Amino acid sequence: MLEIRKINVKYGQREVIHDLSLEVPAGGVVTLIGSNGAGKTTVLKTVSGLLRPTSGSILFEGRPIEKAEPHAIIEAGVVHIPEGRLLFKDMSVAEHIELGTIRAHAGGRTREQRLEWVHELFPILWERRQQKAGTLSGGQQQMLAIARGIMANPKCLMLDEPSLGLAPILVDQLADAIRSLNENGITILLVEQRVDLALRLADRGYVIETGRVVLEDKASALLENPRVKEAYLGA
């Protein structure tokens, strides 16, 4: 579904992504893991059109999107839930959910079906629909960021550090939500600081160091890989 082919990306004059390739098959969950500053967020920003590769290509359902505008990429079905949530603190929960529909991918679930799905996944958001986003807890804000993404009707959802700053019980709820999204047909590309969680949610993983993929395998195999254990799992 999503294929990245040998992309190179620069910040100013400094190249930060080097000949990076990865593939996210339709219906799968793929995780990109690595230390802070390795380039994981840069990859997601490049896929979503916020950054441009200096070379290489990005294909979504066989069509090149590396030169497309961010709104066109959303309309194609690729939705990015950014690190830090990026909510508007003075806008209500209901307004954020409506905001997600503006550039929604056409086809698939109707707006009403997506809204019902959001309420089933995150009932607290319905209870707090008139509350301003800035007054929500960190966990509720993450739920809202995902809900806004769902309302864009994604085929492929990219999640950047969704568990950041969340209490363990909320991380478990978030993991259940990600599983539900995937079970309901959404392909997922996940960047997650909790590597053990990421590899348990994913089918396949890629390890990135200083902008390069240095290891890829089935997620279950990476969980048992001595190099991954030592570097990311504290084993």
Q: How far apart are the first and last CA of the chain?
A: 34
Measured CA to CA, the distance from residue 202 to residue 129 in angstroms comes to 31
Average pLDDT, stretch 10-25? 94
Total number of domains constituting the chain: 1
How many CB atoms are located within 10 Å of the residue 14 CB? 8
| Residue range of the domain that includes 110 | 2-232
Tens-place pLDDT, residues 68-98: 999 999 999 999 998 877 888 899 999 999 8
Give me the pLDDT at residue 165, please.
Answer: 78
Q: What is the average per-residue pLDDT within 203-226? A: 94
Tell me which residue has tokens 């950014």: 82
Q: Is the pLDDT of residue 235 over 70?
A: no
DSSP-derived 3-state class of residue 76: helix
All residues at 6 or more sequence positions from 211 whose CB lies less than 8 Å from its CB, including other chains: 9, 15, 16, 17, 18, 20, 38, 39, 42
Q: H helices within 89-156, ranges in order?
A: 93-99, 111-121, 123-127, 138-150
Residue-level pLDDT at 137: 87
Cα separation, 65 vs 58, in Å, equals: 6
Question: Is 80 exceeded by the pLDDT of residue 47?
Answer: yes
Q: Count of CB atoms within 10 A of residue 15's CB?
A: 13
Q: Assign residue 20 the CATH number of its domain.
A: 3.40.50.300
Residue with tokens 């939500």: 177
Cβ–Cβ < 8 Å for 188, 17: no
> Helix (H, G, I), strand (E, B), or coil: what is residue 214?
strand
Asked whether the CA dihedral 77, 201, 124, 122 is positive or negative, the reply is positive
What is the reported pLDDT for 170? 85
Vertex 163 angle, CA 40 and 160, to 5°:
30
Interval 9-31 mean pLDDT = 95
Ranges 2-6, 51-55, 60-64, 101-105: which has the least confidence: 101-105
- List pLDDT tens digits, range 119-168: 888 999 889 989 999 999 888 898 899 999 998 999 999 999 988 878 88
Task: Give the pLDDT band of residue 3 (cuts 50, 70, 90).
Answer: very high
**Higher-scoring residue by pLDDT: 60, 121:** 60
Contacts with 224 (C-beta within 8 Å, 6 or more apart), sequence order = none
Supply the Cα-derived Rg of the chain in whole angstroms.
17
The pLDDT assigned to 106 comes to 77
220, pLDDT greater than 70: yes
